[in-house]
Copies of this chain bind each other. A is one copy, B any other.
């Protein structure tokens, strides 16, 4: 049977357990050319909150009664496809369920010898590409500049700061809590990390950025953006990647006063990673190399069992995860059980 997490109703504000429904459905029969795979890892990402809402956005909402969307890493169980075989590992878009079936056009084969298969959902997947294009193409950092990134211990932010360092910039993270800040500086090698839970963000951020801020990679919006506005250098660039601070807001809160943008000739630009798929080859080449060379590190926060996906999802909004949040839907045959 195929265990599925459906969207039962559209959340008002913060999602609750009753917004989801967990069901068992039969695995559909395979037509000619089809591929059946078992989900190993399900990626949980902030954008999914937007898909739970109705109304216009950059992507179609999840329909009520349908499986929640999401990218997955899976193990091929049965195949009527010419070039995909049972035992292959693939990245897929199967969503919050334990099996997926398709004609294979949406599958990307993974080589476990090249990188751990779970990285296809994180540092070598959509979050990594988001960090890469947002920082390099939109942010255009130059050596010696100061790059600030919020949600610095998260899947995207952790990559942003490390690429900033690789490119010769000062990397300053903003994260919630001493443990995350410690991880960001000691494990990921950022120059500094500011704990937004300690209050007085304006002063602590200023102290961490004595040369001002040239690039702010914004994952959160809200108060951090406001504090950054006071510290922007001339011609600062702000790639706007996410506004997680208001994803659960029932009324969109106001933004910061925009006058500082004018005074500093600064730029804010929203971007969506799927417009930048042309950059995927360069991203993959660079990041795979940086991983091999030990210049790019990552951490995963793995929750066991698809039934726990709804509760795990809320960690993203509570700051409860460090690194890439994944659900292990079935055992990963490439990885020792202890990990």
Q: Would A265 and B270 count as touching, CB distance under 8 A? A: yes
A267 within 8 A of B: yes
A242 within 8 A of B: yes
A298 within 8 A of B: no
A112 within 8 A of B: no
Give this chain's copy count.
2
- Number of interface residues, chain A, beta carbon within 8 A: 32
Annotate A244-268 by CB proximity to B: 1 below 8 A, 0 otherwise: 0010000011111111111111111
Annotate A262-281 by CB proximity to B: 1 below 8 A, 0 otherwise: 11111111111001000000
**Closest B residue to A58 using CB positions:** B263
Q: Would B271 and A269 count as touching, CB distance under 8 A? A: no
A2 within 8 A of B: no
| Complex: A258 Cα to B243 Cα, angstroms | 8
| Chain B residues with CB below 8 A from A259, complex form | 221, 243, 246, 252
A124 within 8 A of B: no
Q: Would A240 and B257 count as touching, CB distance under 8 A? A: no
| Chain B residues with CB below 8 A from A261, complex form | 240, 268-270
**Closest B residue to A269 using CB positions:** B267
A residues lining the B interface (CB < 8 Å): 56-58, 221, 225, 240-243, 246, 252-272, 275
Q: Would B265 and A272 count as touching, CB distance under 8 A? A: yes
**Closest B residue to A50 using CB positions:** B263
| Complex: A243 Cα to B258 Cα, angstroms | 8
Within the complex, what minimum Cβ distance (angstroms) separates A307 from chain B? 31
When A257-B252, A258-B240 are in contact, do A266 and B265 touch as well, CB less than 8 Å?
no
| Chain B residues with CB below 8 A from A56, complex form | 263
